[in-house]
């Protein structure tokens, strides 16, 4: 079943949602988030890591270029309209996003690089040796939180954080 895309994605020709921006944690479905978010920008200064930026249409988005999200919940705490909702009764993950390696990954192209694995606090990224001597990145889907810490350290911009349904994201 195809995912629901926002009007903005439709108008920009992103019919499969591959260029969707990453919203702050606990944002929910894009169409619901866009309806509920008043673009007050309170979540932007609340983010201690400075990862929440003003995106297209003044809607908040995450920018992993400077680091990863530690899911502190400050953005949820200051969200008065309720566009960001964390259920205190359930210890559920903030989203279904995971790291995905693009074809341009240095390790996938026989160049030794393990920056992402070294940056991953959850140890979700490991490198598996293969015939020929180079190690390929492998992601443990169960332990990856989609925090984005691996994105900022990638020297080749070859990691995307996206939904598993968008696993084949192209650069």
63 and 121 housed in the same domain:
no
25 and 69 housed in the same domain:
yes
pTM over 0.75: yes
More confident position, 158 or 12: 158
Distance CA 60, CA 96 (A): 18
Does residue 92 lie within any of the structural domains?
A: no
Read off the CATH number of the domain in which 34 is found: 3.30.70
> What's the structural domain count of the chain?
2
DSSP 21-84: PPPPTT---HHHHHHH-----THHHH-TT--EEE-GGG-EEE-GGG-------HHHHH-TT-SS
Give yes or no for a contact between 124 and 99, defined as CB atoms under 8 angstroms apart.
Answer: yes
Residue 17 pLDDT greater than 60, yes or no: no
- Mean pLDDT of all residues in 142-160: 96
- Among 25, 45, 78, the domain boundary falls at 78
Q: How many residues does the chain have?
A: 171
Smallest Cα–Cα separation from 139: which of 155, 106, 116? Answer: 116
Does residue 119 lie within any of the structural domains?
A: yes
Distance CA 3, CA 16 (A): 8
pLDDT computed for residue 28 by the predictor:
86
pLDDT computed for residue 171 by the predictor:
35
Give, in degrees to the nearest 5, the angle at Cα 120 between 84 and 90.
35
pLDDT computed for residue 3 by the predictor:
55
Question: What is the tens place of the pLDDT at every residue in 47-96?
Answer: 999 999 999 999 999 999 999 999 999 999 999 999 999 877 767 789 99
Give yes or no for a contact between 23 and 33, defined as CB atoms under 8 angstroms apart.
Answer: yes
Does residue 89 lie within any of the structural domains?
A: no
Question: What is the tens place of the pLDDT at every residue in 20-57?
Answer: 789 999 998 888 999 999 999 999 999 999 999 999 99
Full residue range of the structural domain in which residue 142 is found: 97-166
Read off the CATH number of the domain in which 119 is found: 3.30.70.20
């Amino acid at each position: 079943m195809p995912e629901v895309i926002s009007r903005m994605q439709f108008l920009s020709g992103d019919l499969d949602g591959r260029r969707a921006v990453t919203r702050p944690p606990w944002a929910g479905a894009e169409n619901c988030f866009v309806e509920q978010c008043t673009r007050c920008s309170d979540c932007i200064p609340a983010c201690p890591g400075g990862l929440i930026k003003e995106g297209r249409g003044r809607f908040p988005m995450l920018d992993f270029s400077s680091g990863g999200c530690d899911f502190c919940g400050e953005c949820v705490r200051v969200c008065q309209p309720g566009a960001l909702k964390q259920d205190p009764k359930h210890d559920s993950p903030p989203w279904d996003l995971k790291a995905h390696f693009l074809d341009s990954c240095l390790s996938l192209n026989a160049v030794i690089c393990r920056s992402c694995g070294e940056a991953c606090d959850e140890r979700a990224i490991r490198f598996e040796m293969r015939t020929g001597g180079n190690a390929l990145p492998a992601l443990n889907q169960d332990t990856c939180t989609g925090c984005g810490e691996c994105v900022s350290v990638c020297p080749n911009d070859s990691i995307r954080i996206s939904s598993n349904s968008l696993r084949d994201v192209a650069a």
